[in-house]
Amino acid sequence: MLFLPAAALCCLCSALVTMAAEQLIQEDFTMTRKVGESVSFSCGGTEQCYSWIFWIQRNHAKTFKIILAIDKRDNAISSNYYNHPQKRDFSVEINRNGCELKAQKVKSDHSATYYCACWKRDTHRRSYYYYIFGSGTKLYVTDEQVVKPVVSVYPAASRAHLEGNSSLLCVASAMFPPLVQFSWKRQKKNGREAEELPPAEGEQLELRESGRTIAIRMVDGSDSDTYKYSCWVKHEGGTVEAQTQQEVPAPAASCPPEREPADLPALQPADLSFQSQCRVKLLCLLYTVLIVKSLVYCCGLSLLMILTNKGASTNCTHAD
């Protein structure tokens, strides 16, 4: 039995969080088509789905709408239940690797992002199910031609250099569609083969502006070897590598100064102690102010209730 569309969409936000760890596979993150051409969105990894598989459209208004659903048990397709305005424009093909959402002739209002999703059973709580999603494929319906990006890599100035780390900046520009995915490789100095770096979790920042996308990657400065780093960009037009590499040298061994200034050991602890005392006093003052405000609020509220009750009792006395 199908659940209501609203119930399916209510789980969307929580499912997007789960998507980072478990997700369906949508290899194409963008597709460009002209009006009247055909398009096909693939969805893999559906063997982990329990029952229903959904195809969802997210339009320019940021609204999520279910186009259709496939019952994995008998491959039955349901679209009338969700009443999507474009339901007759799409069909589904089911195969061994998953399923595909197809449109024989795309229209301009088909420009949107398409997600596949399904229910997955929790391995620890067999009666509990949750949604998993694919990463989404964005469709551009336009007459513009696909243009590969121009990719460059630079050293990025950062305060991280003070802590022994470095940062690299990769710029992808002059491409269409504007969406790209970044990856990094590094090669030891005088080494033969380059190794691909794992996806940066919390160590990479991406900035998008008109005509370009920028990725800033933190590089651990504790490595004892010197590496040359290169940036790769995945795009609908193909994968493009930066023409240049950036070398990040191994950290130099730090030598202690021959002699410390006579007053430096005495000044540093004193300064630190003074700063710590100031912070403690500031926190104490802040909490004291908050406590006083709470007491004043409670006292005022109690006084108001007392006056209200007293007025009510006086009115009752006059009425008698």
Q: Which residues are paired to 104 by β-bridges?
A: none
What confidence category does residue 202 fall into, taking pLDDT thresholds of 50, 70 and 90? Answer: low
Distance CA 101, CA 245 (A): 40
237 against 202, higher pLDDT: 237
pLDDT number for residue 38: 97
pLDDT number for residue 287: 65
Q: Which residues are paired to 176 by β-bridges?
A: 147
- Tell me whether the CATH fold assigned to 5-141 matches the one assigned to 150-248: yes
Residue environment code for 192-225, b if the CB has 16+ CB neighbours within 10 A, otherwise e: eebeebeebeeebeeeeeeebbbbbbbbeeeeee
Average pLDDT, rounded, for the chain: 79
Phi, psi angle pair for 289, to nearest 5°: -60, -40
Mean pLDDT, range 248-264, rounded to an integer: 55
Residue 137, SS3 per DSSP:
strand
Ordered by start, the domain boundaries in the chain are 5-141, 150-248
Residues 6+ apart with CB under 8 A from 246: 153, 154, 155, 168, 228, 229, 230
307 against 264, higher pLDDT: 307
Distance CA 272, CA 287 (A): 23
For the stretch 120-140, pLDDT in tens is 988 888 778 888 999 999 999
For the stretch 93-108, pLDDT in tens is 998 889 999 999 999 9
What confidence category does residue 221 fall into, taking pLDDT thresholds of 50, 70 and 90? Answer: low
pLDDT above 70: residue 261: no
Assigned superfamily of 5-141: Immunoglobulins (2.60.40.10)
Strands (E) in the chain, as ranges, are: 30-33, 39-44, 52-58, 64-71, 76-78, 91-95, 98-103, 112-121, 129-133, 137-141, 150-155, 166-173, 181-188, 195-196, 204-209, 212-219, 227-235, 238-241, 246-248
Q: Which residues are paired to 44 by β-bridges?
A: 25, 98
What confidence category does residue 263 fall into, taking pLDDT thresholds of 50, 70 and 90? Answer: very low
Domain 150-248: which CATH class? mainly beta
> Is the pTM of the predicted complex or chain greater than 0.75?
no
Two tokens, residue 141? 């319906």
Q: Which residue from 133, 238, 135 is spatially nearest to 177, judged by alpha carbons?
A: 238
Best-predicted range by mean pLDDT (98-102, 289-293, 294-298): 98-102
Mean pLDDT, range 196-220, rounded to an integer: 83
Residues 6+ apart with CB under 8 A from 247: 189, 226, 227, 228, 229
For the stretch 14-42, pLDDT in tens is 444 344 447 899 999 999 999 999 999 99
What confidence category does residue 190 fall into, taking pLDDT thresholds of 50, 70 and 90? Answer: confident
pLDDT number for residue 161: 52
